[in-house]
Structure 1
Amino acid sequence: MANHTLEGNRLEAIPRQPVSHRALISAVEGTLADFLACQIPALDTVDPALGGFARTARDLVMAGGKRVRPTFAYWGWRGVAGTGDTLEAVLPALGALELMHTFALVHDDLMDRSETRRGRPTAHRIFAAQHGDRFGDSAGILIGDLCLVWADQLLAKVALPPSVQLEVRARYDRMRIEAIAGQYLDVLGETDPAAWSVERALVVARHKTASYTVQWPLGFGLALAAGMDHRIEEAYQTYGIAVGEAFQLRDDLLGVYGDPAVTGKPACDDLSTGKPTTLLMLARQLATPAQLEELAVAGITRQAEIIAATGAPARLEEMIRARVAEGVTAIADAPIRLDAKTALIELATAVTDRPA
């Protein structure tokens, strides 16, 4: 484990050797805490209600989570970073990804009418408890918007040469566009799930989740290190898409069969909204005529039983394993630092075989 000391929320001295996962998360969260602490007073001076609004946004950002996106960005950067490069120089960029993630979660929860996230009320439910559902929805949208603006502000604090800044920003923008595109397709699928397919569900998984969870954070980290090797770029893209899709397929399974006490989200949320996930599309593809007929009218609990009986969950597990193997192979052959290669191979399994 790398040696480090803490000063407040920040790492006082960040070593040039790779940091432990715990130290990395502490550094990212310290960066976020320091940045957010400077944002709230400015809103407080306008109106006390705005200070409370900003504190709610801060609490959502700091409410925990796996910090997957900054972790992948770090190892994307570390894979090609020079021996003189320090983590401290790129921490604002890593923190910006977590602010963007909060934006996406807040808006996603609102669109899905989710009641809880990480075991706590979602943003729109927090505000609905104050002044009703319409106010809650409006405030939830604004919380997400604020987090996205904060992400831009924090990213702007990274000191990089202009050419590197342009490349970092281009990847960041593409990551945001693909996440929004995937979210639109996700919402569209709920309007006519009968017309959806396994293939289209995988397109949603790739854009809504894989691109901004693994694929582009890795490329973002590569750009931060001014990495230009096309072999590394290709390896990161292959790994990112494969492992990112596997990450979403695991989410599909957890959304139906996960333990709410562990996932922090209600059970069977996807089934209650009729979301055409890859799991549900596979179940329809594999179901007998009798199962298909019952699936259309059954209650949520019975739907979960029918889906299991079709063999769709087992098939999804096979798809997850195949994608993890594809990602591991791509990264094993990549010309990157050994510590990064080892970490990314371990992460491929860690993020796709999880209880929450």
Structure 2
Amino acid sequence: KQWENYFPIQNLTHYGESMGIITAIIGFHLAPLALNQCNFPDTIKQKALNYLFESALETGYGEALDISTTWQTLDEKKQSSKLIHQYKTVNYSAVSPLLFGATLADCHDDNFINNLTLYGQFLGKIFQIQDDILGIFGNPAKTGKSNESDIKEGRWTILIELLNKNCSQSDRKILLDILGKTKRTKLDINIVKKLMAKYAILEKTQAKALAYLYKGIEMIPNITDNKDYQDTLKNLLEFMIKREK
């Protein structure tokens, strides 16, 4: 607001976007700076930094794919969705932070790393599923984002995937025709949501998340036998599936 007296609105928007990008760049570089100032041995810090930057590259690739889906064909959307989940959400939200911690702990136990990775994948998949659910069925007042944008942008989410698999041939044609459009209207969004209600897609999606929750819980004893740590890992899985924003 304080800048509105100095800049026309178009320049004000550019200023805000530029400051957002600059802030993100500064924030990203604070992480390696903080790590470099920690008292870990130099060899461990180097390994951790390498892992951090490799993860950042994968996340950037996933994010680039994600923002490109709006202009992709349906076949391209389907192919991109799995890569986006792999490179962006699952790794960034769960696997990478866990393995980064294991790297700092100088862990060389391959069995532990494999179990931790599997747990992280289940955790990340739950996060992605819940994110997709909130993107269509979430309360904007709680999430802070629209519950229409995923459909409006034609994103191939897990809910769209399940709807495509479970609906009739005639309804599938309606769905694919809508997603194949260059732009989707309010009416299109409502039609897709009604189809989801018709085929109980929300319930099917929640069941998929629950399946990953149980698989994640099964992995916990393979990671640690400490009861407090086990409770923490279990609570983290449950938090991901219950979050409302």
Q: Is TM (by shorter chain) over 0.5?
A: yes
**Is the counterpart of residue 319 in structure 1 residue 199 in structure 2?**
no
- Asked if structure 2 preserves the Cα contact closer than 8 Å seen for 1:249 and 1:278, the reply is yes
State the one-letter code of the partner of 2:165.
Q
Q: In the alignment, which residue of structure 1 is the partner of 2:190?
A: 301
Note the 1:241-260 alignment, pairs <5 A. Answer: 241-260=121-140
- Which runs of 5 or more structure 1 residues have no equivalent in the other structure? 1-51, 53-126
Q: Distance in 2 between matches of 1:349 and 1:199?
A: 29
Q: Is the 8 A contact 2:35 2:45 kept in 1?
A: no
Among 325, 328, 331, which residue is 2:217 paired with? 328
In the alignment, what sits opposite 2:239? 350
In the alignment, the residues of structure 1 paired with residue 14 and residue 167 of structure 2 have an alpha-carbon distance, to the nearest angstrom, of 40
Q: Which amino acid aligns with 1:209?
A: T
Cα drift, residue 129 of structure 1: 6.0
What's the offset of the Cα at 1:259? 0.5
For residue 157 of structure 1, what is the aligned residue in structure 2? Answer: 37
Q: 1:171 to 1:160 in 2, by over 3 A?
A: same
Cα distance per residue 1:293-322 (max 9 Å; x no partner): 433164323322222323332222222112
Q: Please tell me the residue identity of whatever aligns with 1:213.
A: S
Question: CA offset at residue 130 of structure 1?
Answer: 8.1
User: Which of these residues, 231, 246, 249, is aligned with residue 111 of structure 2?
Assistant: 231
Q: Helix, strand or coil: the match of 1:223? A: helix
Q: In the alignment, is the contact (CA less than 8 A) between 1:243 and 1:327 conserved in 2?
A: yes
User: 1:72-83 to 2 correspondence within 5 Å?
Assistant: none
Q: Assess if the C-alpha contact under 8 Å between 2:63 and 2:84 holds in 1.
A: yes
Partner of 2:181: none
2:69 corresponds to 1:189: yes
CA contact (8 A) 2:77 2:155 kept: no
Give the letter aligned to residue 313 of structure 1.
L
- Alignment-derived partner of residue 264 in structure 1: 144
Change (3 A) 1:322 1:198: farther
The equivalent position to 2:48 in structure 1, one of 142, 146, 168, is: 168
Q: 1:199, 1:318 → 2: CA distance?
A: 23
Deviation at 1:281, TM superposition (A): 2.5
| Larger displacement relative to structure 2 (233-242 or 135-144) | 135-144
Shift of 1:184: 1.9
Inter-CA distance 311–144: structure 2 relative to 1 (3 Å threshold)? same
Of Structure 1 and Structure 2, which has the larger fraction of its residues in helix?
2
Secondary structure in 2 aligned to 1:351?
Answer: helix
Cα RMSD after superposing both structures: 2.6
**Residues in 2 aligned to 1:286 and 1:339: alpha-carbon distance in whole angstroms:** 41
Instruction: Give, as a single letter, the amino acid of the residue that structure 2 aligns with 1:171.
Output: Y
Deviations 1:241-286 (A, max 9, x none): 1110111111000010001111121222211222222222322232
Contact 2:220-2:230 at 8 Å conserved across structures: yes
TM-score by length of 1: 0.59
Change (3 A) 1:302 1:128: farther
Q: Unpaired segments of 5 or more residues in structure 2?
A: 179-183
CA distance in 2, matches of 1:328, 1:159: 33
2:78 paired with 1:203: no
Q: Distance in 2 between matches of 1:200 and 1:305?
A: 25
2:106 pairs with 1:217 = no
